[in-house]
Structure 1
Amino acid sequence: MANRSHLYAVNTLPTDEGRPDAVVGISEHNWSIPLAHLLLVSFDTRVVPSMIWERRTGVAGDYERGAALLMDLLRVVGEEVQEAQDFESVVATTKAQLDKQRAKYFLLEAGEILGLEDEPVEAAMDRLVGQHIPDLAAHAEAAIAGENADWLAVARGRWRENFYSFYNDTLYYSFDS
């Protein structure tokens, strides 16, 4: 079985008492948390209870602002990407799913991936939310503004691992609404 990051759309956040009433699948990615998922939760980022695990391994962020950042970065990456036709297909799939599933928040379930690391999950969550996500968002914003060519070149060269994920309403962990 592959370990995955799972991305959902919700209008209310999970609490210790339970999950939101409506949880809609957006995307899942095998064996890592891709740049796209991290950017999507990069505004008003907060740790929330997981809907899957018995620990606080959920990461929530503002849907509209995260989607706008990702789409802006995809536009800039696409200006000089290799395999342009494949990349454009990935962008179209991503955009269609994000437009279809609009909500107030993205909710990233990071527990399966963070559990693969050597450090304790709680420390990994602190690092992810406190440092890694803000750093990536700052790099993306600078690249969009034309001020971070080196980072953009790396993102462009790794576009498949950064942006190519399974986008679908039904994910490995899906919830009845």
Structure 2
Amino acid sequence: MILIVCGVSGTGKSTIGNMLAEKLSLPFYDADDFHPQSNVQKMQNGTPLNDEDRQPWLETLSDKLASWENEGGAVLACSALKAAYRDTLASKCTSNIEWIILHGSKALLTERLGARKGHFFEPRLLDSQLSTLELPNDAVVVDIQPPPEDIVQSIVARLHTF
């Protein structure tokens, strides 16, 4: 079973993904750890990534997802903002992926990004991500306002695979 926790930066993908993985006894991975250095550098400089920048990263993640699926599953935190990105991510998996979209107001996201320390994402890129976001019809969409424990509980209750 593969679960991908998606959303723009600041939604809590890593926090929620980690907690969800622990609850489901699955390994957790963060897609940010697989970005090539050139992508990290662009984001640190405040330059939004384009589709050409993302494609090799998405293909690497697609290979990883297929491998993790064969090993029994995993939870991945990944922005996966566009349908085309999600298609690439899912392209090598043989079973359905559970897509979980974390969604919140721009004000809350801005507040969270301003408080975050030690992350390469430049907060001024939030507008670019929000304009890129394409919400899927078949995902579990979850509001990020409640405490993380409540968000995880809500996700588990709404998963299609359980």
**Is TM-score (shorter-chain normalized) higher than 0.5?**
no
State the TM-score, normalizing by the size of structure 2.
Answer: 0.30
Higher helix fraction: Structure 1 or Structure 2? 2
